[in-house]
Amino acid sequence: MTQYILAIDQGTTSSRALVFDKEGNTKSIAQKEFKQYFPKPGWVEHDANEIWSSQMAVTIEAVSKAKLQADHIAAIGITNQRETTIVWNRKTGEPIYKAIVWQDRRTADYCDQLIKEGWEDKIREKTGLVIDAYFVATKVKWILDNVENARDAAKAGDLIFGTVDSWLIWNLTGGQKHITDFTNASRTLLFNIHTLDWDQELLDLFDIPRSMLPELCDSSGEIAHTSGMLFAKKIPITGVAGDQHAALFGQMCTKEGMVKNTYGTGCFMLMNIGKKPLVSKNRLITTIAWKIGNDVQYALEGSIFISGAVVQWLRDGIGLIKSAKESEKLAKQVEDTDGVYFVPAFTGLGAPYWNQHAKGTMVGISRGTSAAHIVRASLESIAFQTYDVLKAMEADSNITIKELRVDGGATENDFLMQFQSTILGVSIVKSKTMEVTALGAAYLAGLGVGYWKNPQEIMEKWKVDKTYSPEKDSSVPKQLKSWKKAVQTTNYWTNPE
């Protein structure tokens, strides 16, 4: 019987499920959006039960669309929006509060306080992370501090917490397994990337009882089995990784020095740095790329908050374009931006600047500036931000990057990809499949169950769609200098003294 791998891809705005065949081709796909809650400025929540119900619905839909029975599914791989935090009751399985989403800023002041108290270096050393509301621990602490009786219930051992991977596995196993994989654990601020275990000093700092924590599991291998509720037969779950880690694997960046960049709402660049947890000196973060048996691979990561979102803003915010695709047409109508630079710091600046308070800044506008110049400057800003992160990665790793593997919605833009290649002076390689994240989860699951024998076998299936090579352009250094000045202006605007 021909068998397939089922990938569960639980994202920030939608739940998706995909069925892949042995060649890595997509046999079916189902997707369902779910509700976003914004109860206060800067707060973002999801209904954890809706995450589960939407995920279950698309999982069944994808299998039935592919006309498959449970017997046809060799294994399940899970990938998930990272850092989103859920606390639930161990006995009833009911969440005690909504899921606090990674974008949520409610704990920013507490993070500022921790920085003032001098925790930054110690936390970076232990966890590889910076202190930011983005990560998990401060969200768990917030729930324990603010939901009635939560702290007492946690102390009594009644409450457990997990990121979305844990929550899905808990439900898929009918409450039998409370686990998280090493990639998701490495985003919590509670996990020591050197000892590969939860860190008691950090648990004490955030006042989180150890009894709440999930058990750690590998990203690939025997992890769990479905309970028999979802499908007639118990199906092995043999792959789990956070979305960007899965994408790194889906891009087959399995060797030290290989880098991928995902151009979605934001940009997430990850570099495989091999077996050593190099701590960044350039304000990147260090994360577990994946753990498979005794093989632990680490990655450097740079997160850019606004990339494709700048194109959404051009369309929905100020109406300069009617569709994302049109941005390319307009950008190509002009030779250059005529000196316009745009730093789209709508939600602060992420790596490598980490300025929580930055705001978007456009400089160099003249009487001759047209919509086309502004659109072009917007697209170029995506490439310049990527340049800054890539240079930080090169400085940290002492590796000169020659090739960048790319995926995500904005890679549809030929102008952007070509400009990116020229600015970086490296080849940009776009993979054939657009579904790199789900495919990465499928690969991990397939390896875990022996569906594919080894990464080498998978690597042979990895196909290139298009490669962009740098063009000769003597104005690149000048453009980079101007971009740098624009970023300085942005920072100056936030903090003029």
Q: Which residues would be at the binding site for ligand ADP (CB under 6 A)? A: 264-265, 308-309, 311-312, 324-325, 327-328, 408-410, 412-413
The residue (of 77 and 266) whose beta carbon lies closer to ligand ADP is 266
Minimum gap (Å) between residue 261 Cβ and ligand ADP: 12
The residue (of 78 and 179) whose beta carbon lies closer to ligand ADP is 78
Minimum gap (Å) between residue 413 Cβ and ligand ADP: 3
CA nearest neighbour of 143 among 206, 90, 236, 61: 206
Q: Would you state the structure tokens that stand for residue 367, as one six-digit string?
A: 């009487």
CA distance 240 to 186: 13
CA angle 46, 406, 240 (to 5 degrees): 45
CA distance 360 to 342: 7
Minimum gap (Å) between residue 325 Cβ and ligand ADP: 5
Instruction: Indicate the DSSP class of residue 165.
Output: H
Minimum gap (Å) between residue 350 Cβ and ligand ADP: 14
Phi-psi region of 258 (alpha: psi -120 to 50; beta: other; left: phi over 0): beta
CA distance 393 to 223: 32
Minimum gap (Å) between residue 264 Cβ and ligand ADP: 3
Instruction: Indicate the DSSP class of residue 314.
Output: I
Alpha-carbon Rg for the chain, nearest whole angstrom, is 22
Sort strands 4-10 and 73-80 into parallel, antiparallel or unpaired.
Answer: parallel
CA distance 365 to 474: 23
Question: Up-side HSE of residue 364: CA atoms within 13 Å toward CB?
Answer: 20
SS3 217: strand
Containing 100, the helix (H) or strand (E) segment is strand 99-100
Residue 458 in contact with residue 24, Cβ under 8 Å? yes
Identify residue 189 by its one-letter amino acid code: L
Q: Give the total residue count for the chain.
A: 497
The residue (of 172 and 247) whose beta carbon lies closer to ligand ADP is 247
Minimum gap (Å) between residue 278 Cβ and ligand ADP: 27
Minimum gap (Å) between residue 72 Cβ and ligand ADP: 28
SS3 202: helix
The residue (of 182 and 249) whose beta carbon lies closer to ligand ADP is 249
The residue (of 276 and 466) whose beta carbon lies closer to ligand ADP is 466
The residue (of 63 and 309) whose beta carbon lies closer to ligand ADP is 309
Minimum gap (Å) between residue 305 Cβ and ligand ADP: 11
Beta strands in 249-388 (DSSP E): 259-263, 267-274, 285-292, 295-304, 341-343, 361-363
The residue (of 171 and 307) whose beta carbon lies closer to ligand ADP is 307
CA distance 179 to 370: 54
The residue (of 153 and 324) whose beta carbon lies closer to ligand ADP is 324
Which residue is nearest to ligand ADP, using beta carbons? 409
The residue (of 51 and 172) whose beta carbon lies closer to ligand ADP is 51
The residue (of 87 and 410) whose beta carbon lies closer to ligand ADP is 410
The residue (of 286 and 303) whose beta carbon lies closer to ligand ADP is 303
Residue 132 in contact with residue 111, Cβ under 8 Å? yes
CA angle 405, 407, 408 (to 5 degrees): 155
Identify residue 45 by its one-letter amino acid code: E
The residue (of 63 and 410) whose beta carbon lies closer to ligand ADP is 410
CA distance 190 to 187: 8
Q: Would you state the structure tokens that stand for residue 90, as one six-digit string?
A: 């161990």
Instruction: Indicate the DSSP class of residue 432.
Output: S
Question: Up-side HSE of residue 379: CA atoms within 13 Å toward CB?
Answer: 30
Minimum gap (Å) between residue 224 Cβ and ligand ADP: 26
Minimum gap (Å) between residue 44 Cβ and ligand ADP: 14
Sign of the dihedral through C-alpha 320, 326, 329, 332: positive
The residue (of 308 and 350) whose beta carbon lies closer to ligand ADP is 308
CA distance 283 to 164: 26
Minimum gap (Å) between residue 311 Cβ and ligand ADP: 4
